[in-house]
């Protein structure tokens, strides 16, 4: 009911909004709320499990792929070093063999003995 008080229009103080206000089933609401909470929990758990699985999967994939990447990155360097050292070794051997073959022939003349004959015949005839 509305009543006019002076210039103001006011609702009557005791006038109920509903004639028969609906009583909320408090107990029934609590069950729903719990169910909702449980459902949310399950969803959160599922999502977190899925995320964990994804993370574990990624970590595993990274770990598994690491040994494959390592040789892929390091092998060329190692091989290069080994090849270089082998080449140096072979070059050294070639040099030594060259030197040995040259020496077998080149310095022979330097080692020839000096002439030692001395002809005394003219003196002996005296």
State the residues that interact with another protein by CB under 8 A.
86, 89-91, 93-94, 96-101, 103-105, 108, 110-118, 120, 122-124, 126
Q: Which is nearer to another protein, 21 or 114 (CB)?
A: 114
Q: Which is nearer to another protein, 57 or 76 (CB)?
A: 76
CA–CA distance, 31 with 28 (Å, rounded to integer):
5
Shortest separation between residue 105's beta carbon and another protein, angstroms? 5
Shortest separation between residue 78's beta carbon and another protein, angstroms? 16
Answer for the pair 39, 31: CB distance below 8 angstroms, yes or no: no
Q: Which is nearer to another protein, 41 or 89 (CB)?
A: 89
Answer for the pair 56, 49: CB distance below 8 angstroms, yes or no: no
Shortest separation between residue 54's beta carbon and another protein, angstroms? 48
Q: Which is nearer to another protein, 69 or 96 (CB)?
A: 96
Answer for the pair 3, 13: CB distance below 8 angstroms, yes or no: no
Copy the structure tokens of residue 125.
């005839």
How many helices (H) and strands (E) in the chain? 2, 2
CA–CA distance, 71 with 49 (Å, rounded to integer):
34
Shortest separation between residue 113's beta carbon and another protein, angstroms? 5
């Amino acid at each position: 009911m509305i009543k006019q008080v002076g210039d103001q229009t006011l609702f009557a103080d005791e006038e109920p909004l509903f004639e028969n206000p609906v009583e909320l089933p408090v107990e029934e609401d609590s069950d729903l709320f719990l169910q909702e909470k449980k459902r949310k929990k399950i969803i959160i758990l599922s999502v977190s499990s899925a995320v964990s699985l994804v993370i574990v999967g990624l970590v595993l994939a990274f770990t598994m792929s690491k040994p494959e990447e390592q040789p892929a990155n390091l092998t060329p360097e190692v091989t290069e070093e080994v090849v270089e050292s082998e080449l140096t070794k072979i070059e050294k051997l070639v040099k030594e063999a060259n030197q040995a073959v040259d020496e077998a022939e080149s310095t022979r003349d330097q080692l020839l003995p000096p002439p030692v004959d001395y002809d005394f015949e003219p003196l002996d005839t005296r």
